[in-house]
């Protein structure tokens, strides 16, 4: 298995797929994040921030932006140990955001508000994997149904 962390999509087929309607129902984006040791801003500004600190500026701002597009932050935690499998290097953090659908995530990431805060994302990230997930079509365990219900506006 070959794994390539990226900050922005570069594969035209992935970009094209991202622009398609996507699966029905809520989409849960699993983000595997790898931070730079030191933040590096594209505009060349001087900073004493670590990559994690720069990304956290983005993380706080995007958490406030998500509801404007029907989304919400679900989970974020540091990666501490790989208990099964092998990887040359672990990610630093896992974050999960939920959206009513793929298009809502795309609209958010194309918004001017997102572009303004994304400078901190780019400054802090060495790379990441974004994995789109959905509930199983054949039926989901109760805990998955309850979580999905929060995305549909039900208790």
As a whole number of angstroms, the distance between CA 119 and CA 122 comes to: 5
Q: Is 98 a member of any domain?
A: yes
CA–CA separation, 93 vs 125, rounded Å?
11
Which residue's structure tokens are 């400078």?
Answer: 119
DSSP single-letter state for residue 104: H
Establish if 137 belongs to a structural domain.
Answer: yes
Residue 7: predicted pLDDT: 64
The pTM for the full model equals 0.81
Distance CA 148, CA 154 (A): 9
Domain extent, residue 48, equals 23-151
2 found inside a domain: no
Overall number of domains in the chain: 1
- 35, 126 Cβ separation under 8 angstroms: yes
Alpha-carbon distance of 6 to 92, in angstroms, equals: 14
Q: Which residue has the higher pLDDT, 58 or 21?
A: 58
User: Nearest to residue 97, comparing CAs of 115, 79, 73?
Assistant: 73
| Overall residue count recorded for the chain in this entry | 155
pLDDT tens column, 56-101 = 999 999 999 999 999 999 999 999 999 998 888 899 999 999 999 9
Looking at the domain assignment, is residue 5 inside a domain? no
- Name the percent of the chain in helix, strand, coil, to the closest 5: 35, 25, 40
User: Which CATH number does the domain housing residue 62 bear?
Assistant: 3.30.70.100
- Domain membership of residue 13 (yes or no) is no
pLDDT at 120: 97
């Amino acid at each position: 298995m070959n794994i390539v962390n990226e900050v922005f999509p570069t594969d035209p087929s992935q970009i094209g797929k991202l622009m398609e309607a996507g699966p029905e129902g809520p989409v849960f984006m699993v983000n595997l994040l790898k931070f730079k040791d030191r933040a590096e801003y594209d505009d060349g500004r001087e900073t004493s921030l670590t990559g994690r600190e720069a990304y956290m500026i983005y993380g706080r701002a995007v958490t406030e932006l998500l509801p404007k597009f029907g989304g919400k932050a679900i989970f974020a935690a540091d990666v501490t140990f790989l208990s099964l499998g092998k990887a040359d290097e672990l990610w630093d953090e896992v974050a999960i955001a939920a959206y009513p659908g793929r298009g809502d995530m795309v609209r958010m990431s194309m918004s001017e508000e997102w572009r303004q805060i994304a400078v901190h994302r780019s400054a802090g990230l060495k790379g990441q994997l974004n994995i789109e997930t959905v509930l199983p079509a054949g039926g989901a365990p109760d805990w998955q149904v309850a979580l999905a219900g929060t995305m549909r506006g039900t208790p």
